[in-house]
Structure 1
Amino acid sequence: MTNPYKVFLICFTAFLFFGCFEDLDDNPASVRDLNNFVWRGLNTYYLYKDEVPDLGNSRFTTSEYENFLNSFNSPEALFEHLRYQPQTVDRFSWITNNYIELEQLLNGTSLSTGMDFGLVRHPNGSNNIFGYVGYVLPNSSASLQGVTRGTIFYAVNDVPLTRSNFSSLLQNRSFTINLANYNDNGTPDVLDDTIIPNGQSITLTKSALTENPIFKTALFTIAEQQVGYLMYNGFTRNFDAQLNAVFGDFKANNVQNLIIDLRYNSGGSVNTAILLSSMIAGQTGNVFSTEVWNTDIQSALSVAQTTNYFTNSDNGVPLNILNLSKVYILTSKRSASASELVINCLDPYIDVIHIGTETAGKFQASITVYDAPDFRRINANPAHLYAMQPLVLKSLNAVGYTDYSFGLVPDVLFPENYANMGTLGTENEPLLAAALQIIRDNSRVSPQVNQALELVADKHMFAPVEVGMYVNP
């Protein structure tokens, strides 16, 4: 990517668990100094700076500024005060008190049971929720204890899951899930579905795991055409070469139709998103996306610095490009940031058949801001480990489409049926079967159920940071 700001969409997938420095400077930073760092960083980079009066360049005299800083008892309190409409507009900015843990987490290793799960509101509309398992990582606690795709759990440590308690129950290093059966009562209407405890339970323990985002690939012959399938669960730079190799295999097998499964993919590197999109569609040299920053930064950047392009190589290594005019992409409400970027930025160039449910609606990017004169890691203040991840830009596709805060709407509404989740990568898996039917019949399919149940949380929401775009300035 030509943008010197080199954007990454990072999916933060687990708890921060790594050790930090045992000793900091003998003179730790005061609350006032930490608050000064927060204000300076947001005043410089924050995307919504112009909408927050207290971030104005001429907002305070010197004495007023000191009084303002001292009126907040923690950097977290000031940070939250300066966020712009956090319930609706800025849902994704955050602050951490340990950037060492953050940096190690970004290397791809996290504490996990190996169980990918979503938490969904009960069909009866109560505040009770249940968990479903999307997939299980090999050689993990979940795989060793017999958790499989489609496993349903209604309680943890014998305590039924609710909106108010799920976080405390599932954040522990070890816990027991109490299992249930999902009964759709033989109808497509989710409102009469029930969750029935079955008396079984499984105890799981988290350990350090590194997840390969290339979870499943497959080839099918449909209507005398080769169809490639890829379940891709995270845009992780460390696996770009393997992703290119997958497309090399698709190319060698003359794949004419491609299904990309992003239903559990909540983000990763935008460079990887560009590579994946380029391998699908080609379009070398055409605009992939453009960036909009706050007024001060935008005025200092050239068009070239805020534009990303499709490419035919990765650091000089040729990409295996299929040059397709159509792609089928499977999504859920858990599909976010880089997943949405691929859909949105391919759409002006090729026919994107979007199957599943609306996506998460994350189109903004953030940056790691350190307490340093230039806000970079190399000059970070040794007196503390605070860093911020404020939203600093939003991404637009080649025709300017952005601000999809409610998610990207599918062409074919097809929520997962928790009573019949099927086996990933096989023709009996419902969403994959729907895509194959469209390819076979060149037609649309009816939704599996009338509506999707409300997603309350998933495994990615247990880290103290949100999914979003990450920018290296």
Structure 2
Amino acid sequence: MKKFFIPLYIGTILFFVACSSDDNIIPDIEEPQEEQAAATAEDYPTQYFMWQVMNTFYFWQGDVANLADNKFSGPNDPDFIDFLASGSDPSDFFYNSLCNNHVNSVGEESAIDRFSGAVADYRDLLNSLQGISSSNGVEFNLYLANDLSSVYGVVTYIMPDSDASDKDIERGDVFTGVNGQALNINNYIDLLFGEDTSYTLNMAEFDNNNIVNNGNEVTLTKVENFSENPILINKIIEQNGLKIGYLMYNSFLAAYDDQLNEVFGTFKSENIDELILDFRYNPGGRVSSAIQIASSIYGAHTDEVFIRPRFNDKLQEQFGTPDNFTDTTFDSNTPINVLGLSRVYVITSDNTASASELVINGLEPYIDVVQIGGTTVGKNEFSNTFVDDPEGAFIYNAERESQINPDNLWGLQPLLGRNENADGFSDYTDGLVPDYLLDEDIENLGILGDENEPLLALTLSVISGETAKRSLSQPYPANYLTNSKMFRPTKDNMFMDGLLKNFN
């Protein structure tokens, strides 16, 4: 291995200071010129930072030729300098030159890496990981119309206390345009996720399997630094003499771990018989929060494995220590409330990813996990946030904020590895398939948390044993495209707290 790579058994990075060399240009006799210093890796700080992180931490480091340890002789290798200089656009450099067939480069069909990310300002990543963003409070799915060009949106839920919460818009509403422009495959990103903080949705409705504009408009304004509470609904449903806890949890965010623990405390004090976790709109988040939820369900068995991380060959021996179930919250060390259940019901969809899937897979070896709804995304890899702080091993640490290079604020969220459960299973890249399949019907979404809402109603019928008596209607034939959460910096990443804990 070349000497300028990040050492694997210490928590700091050793840099080689690039040396300058003389140009072979004969100066003019009458007007002597100063010697020009040769370019060094330090002249391309963003690309150099990206390469060092990916060369050490990236899960597929061994499969990317540009990241090979013998590709360059050192940071002063002219070929290495030329390589860094070729990345005039850091984003393109990251996705095209450092990632393993990233979806942004090769498309969905040929992609191996679907989830690694780079953003120009690491603070956007941090805010997103805490549920903080610029938001008007409307979450929605987007679909392709029958012509495979036009796009329409369907509201999935409204965040409480947001700009949208007191506007005339609700779950199930349909929109086809923004500011009078019809949405299509070429403009929907700019219109819905561009820099405009305010826009007007042009509303529509279903009419005999057609979507027609109804002339209504809703003007929405994004609020900076809006914080979404991921605990959207928690309640107890009584049915046939059973107490059933219901929790709709929409993101694994550390800032709400203590509040989440209080919800489980209520379930415990009410002595619930069954538990329903509604993850249908949960794209993932922090692994420690997933461990907390799983431990509250199964038990504080700190001697039993919840997950085993699989890193690249450089890191596996040092950092592949299993994460067990926990008896406290990660940040506040508050004792967790434990239900000790032998079964849990989980509602999923094609928006369910990452840490949500981790809870399902991690609990499978220990209790009966009954999955209801749609097949999940299939994101079994985890990531971490990296910044240009070489002495901190590039791993973001709030205590070292002042040490981050102020001239390079780029943040990386590359995939670092895969998590397998106690049985060694991690192969669910095609998604986790439900035991009871039912996709949401966008013509009949129902009211979240209501016992008649289709997915919750099906789950309750499974619990009561009356599933066979249910008559399930055929959902509207929708061609799913994406959803609003995929345009946040963290998208559906699984943030691995453990690496930060073990590396420093």
Name which of 40, 45, 48 aligns with 2:52: 40
1:437/1:465 CA distance change after superposition, 3 Å: closer
Could you say what secondary structure the match of 2:406 adopts? coil
Specify every segment of 5 or more residues in structure 2 that has no aligned partner in the other structure, as ranges: 1-40, 104-110
SS of the residue aligned with 1:34? helix
**Match of residue 76 from structure 1:** 91
1:289 is aligned to 2:307 = yes
Q: CA deviation at 1:467?
A: 2.1
Residues 265-318 of structure 1: per-residue CA shift (max 9 Å, x gap): 1112111111111111226132111101110111333xxx52111123325432
Is the 2:163–2:222 Cα contact (8 Å) retained in structure 1? yes
What residue in structure 1 maps to residue 12 of structure 2? none
Within 2, Cα distance between the matches of 1:450 and 1:140? 30
Alignment deviations for residues 182-218 of structure 1 (CA, whole Å, 9 cap, x no partner): 24x5xxxxxxx32122221111111132111111122
1:99-138 alignment to 2 at 5 Å?
A: 99-122=122-145, 124=146, 126-138=148-160
- Larger deviation: 343-352 or 376-385? 376-385
CA–CA distance in structure 1, aligned partners of residues 476 and 379 of structure 2: 22
**Local SS of the residue matching 2:377:** coil
- Aligned partner of 2:424 among 392, 400, 403: 400
**Corresponding position of 1:253:** 270
Structure 1 Cα separation of the partners of residues 490 and 246 of structure 2: 31
8 Å CA contact 2:287–2:496 kept in 1: the answer is: no
Query: How far is the alpha carbon of 1:253 from its aligned partner?
Result: 1.8
Moved more, 264-273 or 438-447: 438-447
Q: TM-score by structure 1 length? A: 0.86
Look up the SS of the partner of 2:233 in the other structure. Answer: strand
Tell me the SS of whatever aligns to 1:84.
Answer: coil
What is the one-letter code of the residue matched to 1:86?
A: H
Q: Offset at 1:68?
A: 2.1
Task: Please identify which structure carries the higher strand content.
Answer: 1
One-letter code aligned to 2:66: D
Unaligned 5+ segments in structure 1 are 1-28, 186-192
Q: Report deviation, 1:103.
A: 2.8
Match of 2:283 in 1: 266
**SS state at 2:92 partner:** helix
Structure number with greater CO (CA < 8 Å, separation at least 6) is 1
Alignment-mate amino acid for residue 297 of structure 1: L
Deviates further, 285-294 or 380-389? 380-389
- 2: distance between equivalents of 1:399 and 1:201? 52
What value does the CA root-mean-square deviation take over the aligned residues?
Answer: 2.1
CA distance in 2, matches of 1:464, 1:268: 12
Of residues 394, 409, 413, the one that matches 1:375 is: 394
The residue aligned with 1:459 is 484
Shift of 1:387: 2.4
What pairs with 1:350-389 in structure 2 (closer than 5 Å)?
Answer: 350-373=367-390, 374-377=393-396, 378=400, 379-389=403-413
| CA drift at 1:143 | 1.6
Q: 1:183-332 alignment to 2 at 5 Å?
A: 183=207, 185=208, 193-208=209-224, 209-282=226-299, 284-285=301-302, 286-301=304-319, 306-314=321-329, 315-332=332-349
The structure-2 alpha-carbon separation of the partners of 1:287 and 1:465, relative to structure 1 and needing over 3 Å to count, comes to: closer
Q: In 2, Cα distance between the equivalents of 1:414 and 1:350?
A: 23
Q: How much identity, in percent, do the aligned residues show?
A: 39
The answer for the alignment partner of 1:92 in structure 2 is 115
What TM-score, normalized by structure 2, do the two folds share? Answer: 0.81
Larger Rg: 1 or 2? 2
- Tell me if the contact between 1:227 and 1:258 (Cα under 8 Å) persists in the aligned partners: yes
- 1:83 aligned partner, one-letter code: C
Structure 2 counterpart of 1:144: 166
Displacement of 1:465 after TM fit?
Answer: 4.8
